[in-house]
Structure 1
Amino acid sequence: MDYRHHRLAVLRRQLAQLTAQICATPVGSPERDALLIPMEPLMDTVLALADELHC
């Protein structure tokens, strides 16, 4: 596995963990809102790298 594939796997794990945290937090809570902030850039990075690797 090259570096980019490894990096994608790590980012996907981070995304899964963040998603689980968001799902476990009440809708409309300040905690959930705070967790949503890093979601978009992380998702963008995962999608861009996956597209680059054609995964």
Structure 2
Amino acid sequence: MPVGEIATMQQLLARTTARPRFVTTTLAVFAGLALLLAITGFFAVLSRA
């Protein structure tokens, strides 16, 4: 039986986790932006009171 592809365990792990890592990073960035927007809005409301 011929070997189709030779890769190290590190390469296989990186390939397997690339998409979940991208999704997690993207969601974390949007969560940070949402938090920044909420803090800005909260500060604006408190400064007008």
Q: TM-score, normalised by structure 1?
A: 0.45
- The structure that has the greater radius of gyration is 2
Q: TM-score, normalised by structure 2?
A: 0.50
Bigger RCO of structures 1 and 2 (CA < 8 A, at least 6 apart): 1
